[in-house]
Amino acid sequence: MNTELLSTHTAALFAAAVQRAAELLRAGEVVALPTETVYGLAANALNAAAVARIYEIKGRPAHNPIIVHVTSREMALQCVAEWPAVADELLKAFWPGPLTMVLPKAAAIPDIVTAGGATVGVRWPSHPFIQAVIRECGFPLAAPSANPANQVSPTNAEHVRKTLGGKIPLVVDGGQSQVGIESTVIDLTSEPPTVLRPGMVHEESLLAVTGDLISSQKMVLNAGGKALRSPGLLKKHYAPKARLALLEWRDNADLRAQIAGLGVPGSKCYIVSHTTIPTGDGFAHVSVIPHDAEAFARAIYAELHRCDEEGAELIVVEALPDLPTWRAIGDRLRRAAAS
Ligand code: TXA
Ligand code: MG
């Protein structure tokens, strides 16, 4: 299949890409669209056959439910069977934005979207392109991240084209994703609500709205024993092809000694640092990304994609500050490092 790649950087290109994406989505096709978190692989959420194609294209296990994207409170209400008061409070505080709310599903949502489950994840994204497409279509869009299952999520159109090019009719280029990691997922069917996946809407911010919360950290500890509430909690997930290690070092010599201990030659080792910057000699590459949680989140997946593309054997990421603002990034990197 020939994959069309459409730009959106002028008003005319943006409008033309919205029309083309909507046309394909109405016809039951699957297309890759930008969102502010990561790029999504979208289909009409009300069309079971179209959503089935998403699973096929991603190689996604049938037990992993897909988030539904909306652009209004009314559209969210059409997807759910219950809308508690706390959902309105969260909507006011965080939508549009990188927060997914899990609620009892409406009959209108096909079972395949929720992997047979009784709940549905709903999100109102802030990226203007996907908003315009949803409004043009008039139906909600089911969209997981636009990557083959278990790989690193794409944060630009080129990441999508490299892995899904030839498998989908359209990739829309909406620039670099501004959040850079996947949305926070909060389950509102438990009392108190449970954070199933941490994200850049931090637990501290959620707590200010919900009053009480079961933290994702507790969930991860439980995940080994109990049935998984959210397959995104699988320990190994979001992984690059290369091995990944989170390390702290005093200086170059200390870093080199630790890498030697891991049995990887320096020439196959890519360093991603933010505070104690090593000199480049002896490593394949040293990159520096800002010591600021938001800027770091925006940049980290592109770093992982680039290291893989250049054939890294080991990616060493400098250990992150142990602060609430960095927790979601730490969650993704620890999963990527799990083996
Ligand atoms: O930021 C995002 O959420 C991106 C963009 C495209 O919106 N989407 C995304 O989708 O990351 P995906 O499928 O890669 O991750 C969705 C996560 C998975 O861990 C899934 O198990 C969980 O959300 N999830 C979806 N619906 C759920 C539900 N009804 N109950 C529990 N977990 C759910
Ligand atoms: Mg994903």
Rg (C-alpha) for the chain, rounded Å, is 20
pLDDT-derived band at 94, boundaries 50, 70, 90: very high
Place of tokens 């997946």: 301
HSE (side-chain half, CA atoms, 13 Å) at 83: 14
Cα torsion through 232, 235, 238, 240, rounded to 10: -160
With cut-offs at 50, 70 and 90, classify the pLDDT of residue 125: very high
For the chain, the first-to-last Cα distance in angstroms comes to 35
Q: Residue 20: what are its φ and ψ, rounded to 5°? A: -65, -45
pLDDT tens-place string over residues 135-156: 999 999 999 999 999 999 999 9
Q: Which helix (H) or strand (E) holds 13?
A: helix 11-26
Protein residues with CB under 6 Å of any ligand 1 atom: 35, 37-38, 40, 64-67, 98, 100, 102, 114, 117, 119-121, 123, 125, 143-145, 182-183, 185, 196-197, 229-232
SS3 188: coil
Span 196-240, pLDDT tens digits: 999 999 999 999 999 999 998 776 544 444 445 565 555 666 789
- For strands 31-33 and 40-44, give the pairing: antiparallel
Which tokens belong to 197? 């996946």
How much is the pLDDT for 225?
Answer: 41
Q: Work out the mean pLDDT of the chain and round it to a whole number.
A: 94
- Whole-number Å distance, alpha carbon 160 to ligand 1 midpoint, is 18
Contact 45, 141 (CB under 8 A): yes
Give me ligand 2 centre to Cα 144, in Å: 6
pLDDT score of 218:
73
Give residue 38 CA to ligand 2 midpoint distance, Å: 9
Residue with the larger pLDDT of the pair 123 and 282: 123
Tokens of 200: 């850049």
- CA of 144, nearest ligand number: 1
